Amino acid sequence: MPNGMGTIEFDDLLNRVKQERCESSFRVLFDHFYAKVHAYFQQRGAQGQRASDLAQETLLTVWHKASFFDATKGSCSTWIFTIARNIRYDNLRSNARDIISIGADDLYDQFEDPSLRIDESILSEDIRARIDTLPAEQKDVVQATFFEGYTHSEYADLKKIPLGTVKSRIRLALAQLKKGLEHL
């Protein structure tokens, strides 16, 4: 892209932001990359204000993390779009957690026919009985993470086992529980 004196070197501009916190260099980067990053988010499903917010978050991260830019590992453009990709994934994970955090109580009032409601005490007793039949390691991790409020990482630290082992035990336990609850 010409700037009146030749081609703009975006790597050089980002290096100036990195070394000198040069606001004018950042402004040029922002003006050039904002529309491209915005389009990137739109092409991947973010619409309207959400795409704008994500594009601004990306470029704000560029400003704050400029010290991490290393031109020997990739171009300015590659680095910026890597940040955008990571922000997109973080946003997707965050939205997935929001959806998962909706519990049965949030949906319960939507039932119009009381005869369609599941008796929670019977279900709870059945689930607890089935948890008691799990192998000890699986039972322990389910109790700790689902009923006692430990995160997977906290439980792994507490038991001094790898996080992957915790996740595997939970996966196996849930598969067993699902199998046992299919008759309901």
pTM over 0.75: no
pLDDT at residue 55 in the model: 94
Among 51-65, 113-127, 165-179, the range scoring the smallest mean pLDDT is: 113-127
Decide: residue 180, CB within 10 A, 0-12 exposed, 13-18 middle, 19+ buried.
middle
CA distance 55 to 61: 10
Query: Would you place residue 96 in the very low, low, confident or very high pLDDT band (cuts 50, 70, 90)?
Result: low
Domains along the chain with CATH numbers: 10-100 (1.10.1740.10), 116-181 (1.10.10.10)
More confident position, 116 or 52: 52
Q: Which of 122, 153, 135, 45 is nearest to 91 (CA)?
A: 45
CA distance 162 to 153: 9
Question: Is the predicted pLDDT of residue 84 greater than 90, yes or no?
Answer: yes
CA distance 55 to 83: 10
Give residue-wise pLDDT tens across range 15-66. 999 999 999 999 999 999 999 999 999 988 888 899 999 999 999 999 999 9
